[in-house]
Structure 1
Amino acid sequence: MTAGADGIPNRKPRGATRILTDILSELKLSAAVPPVTEEQEETAKLGDVVDRLDERAFGFLLLMLALPCCLPFIYLLPQIVALPMLALAGQLAMGGRHPWLPQSLNQRSFSIPAFQGVLEKAEKYIGWIERFSKPRLPFVTSHIGSRIVGFLMLIPILSILTPLPSTNTAPGIGVAVASLGLIERDGVLVILGLLFGFAWVFLLLFLGHEAISLIKAWLGMGA
């Protein structure tokens, strides 16, 4: 740890996952009043998270929603969170300065302990990325650059929305890395995340086309 000019040690800002964990902990305390029974589970609304985020709200929300999509062999939750992800990416593409969600999405509840568990698992992987992250290629995360990023994010998010095997994990990782880049103002991370998500989507499209061609050829031979 280095010292600043005033002799006060410079501390690296808290990571994105730690900030989100703190927000969920705050919401959990709020949900505990009145007391929550063992049969009940602490829940929060997506709008509650939006209200507690700073100017980097787009990046934070996209990261938070993308993390569950990074887990393999989960087919319901990714499709649920992909809808607000599409809304957020669309607003970013249209030049939005702060997220706005329809009332139906704002009121969408989620399990606080479940999301905290996802963040705890993700922190050990994202933490090392955050250590190497720094502001780079500022034009990528500028207002105009962010609009382009939001537009490009729509493609991997649409892949997540597709309820088929292997359509959510890799695109989810790509969106998560790109979102982390938006938060950290790191254009390199944004580009790497988008490239990873795009590569997987194009791979799926190519393999799907090849599979259809093979089936057609097999049916033709058997006719």
Structure 2
Amino acid sequence: MTDATADHQPTPARLRGLTDLLDALRRATNGDKASVADLLGALGERSFTPLLLAISVILISPVSGIPTVPTISAVIIVLIAVQGLMGRRHLWLPGFILRRRVDASKLRRGFDWLQKPCAWVDRHSHARLRLLTRGPARTVAFLVCVLLPLTWPALELLPMVTSVGATALALLTFGLLTHDGLYAFLGYCVIGAMGALVWWLI
């Protein structure tokens, strides 16, 4: 698998929220190992936004503690977001990334850990503040998805820090997917809080 159809096409019906996203990812982790191609393929290859959301959600879980996962995930997110900004019709990822494999049992445990909070978020989301999810605001969101992960490789030894950044991106992309600007706004708030904390520490 080397392509995913771009964001302007309809999102697969099964990906209406985070619970659907987790279910789709679980279907790709039935064996001992799961490749990046397996995980992306499980999302239907229909949109950039669910791909960005899926990777961010995985990094919120304890899976972010697996060595090299934050760095590889950052590379994938940046590649997806850059191509989204370019308006590409198809997503391209290099073969060595698509072939990258992770222990499927660790992924399944991460999905189980996320099940309840994801279900809660799904129950409390609906279309609102759409100004933050379309037009120029959508472009800004993809730009954030390019810039923020660039810091993750240097922070890989601090998995909780990566998880906080991933939470911000997950909130932002979930807002885009569901047209719920409140979650996009919360994502920006998390990024602002992170920036303020780093400024204070410096």
TM range (shorter): 0.7 to 0.9
Aligned residue number for residue 57 of structure 2: 67
Structure 2 runs not aligned, ≥5 long: 1-13
Distance in 1, matches of 2:128 and 2:20, equals 22
1:190 is aligned to 2:184: yes
Distance in 1, matches of 2:90 and 2:148, equals 22
Distance in 2, matches of 1:169 and 1:21, equals 17
Runs of 4+, deviation exceeding 6 Å: none
Distance in 2, matches of 1:20 and 1:138, equals 22
Over residues 51-85 of structure 1, what are the superposed CA-to-partner deviations in whole Å (9 max), with x where a residue is unaligned? 34357632322222223432478373322322111
Over residues 27-72 of structure 1, what are the superposed CA-to-partner deviations in whole Å (9 max), with x where a residue is unaligned? 345x5xxxxxxxxx2x232223333435763232222222343247
Report the TM-score, using the length of structure 1 for normalisation: 0.69
Aligned residue number for residue 95 of structure 1: 87
Aligned pair in 2 of structure 1 residues 26, 70: CA closer, same or farther (>3 Å)?
A: closer
Aligned to 1:99, the other structure's residue is in SS state: coil
Alpha-carbon contact 2:128-2:182 (below 8 Å) kept = yes
How many residues align? The count is 185
Alpha-carbon contact 2:126-2:178 (below 8 Å) kept = yes
Following superposition, the deviation at residue 202 of structure 1 comes to 4.0
Report the TM-score, using the length of structure 2 for normalisation: 0.75
Aligned pair in 2 of structure 1 residues 45, 55: CA closer, same or farther (>3 Å)?
A: closer
Which structure ranks higher in relative contact order (CA pairs < 8 Å, sequence separation ≥ 6)? Answer: 2
2:183 partner amino acid: L
Aligned residue number for residue 16 of structure 1: 17
Alignment of 1:36-47 (within 5 A): 41=32, 43-47=33-37
1:50 is aligned to 2:44: no
Aligned pair in 2 of structure 1 residues 74, 103: CA closer, same or farther (>3 Å)?
A: same
Aligned to 1:134, the other structure's residue is in SS state: coil
2:60 partner amino acid: C
- Range with bigger deviation, 65-74 or 122-131: 65-74
- Range with bigger deviation, 74-83 or 118-127: 74-83
The two structures, once aligned, show a CA RMSD in angstroms of: 2.8
Following superposition, the deviation at residue 185 of structure 1 comes to 1.9
Following superposition, the deviation at residue 140 of structure 1 comes to 3.0
The percentage of counterpart residues that share the same residue type is 24
Alpha-carbon contact 1:94-1:147 (below 8 Å) kept = no
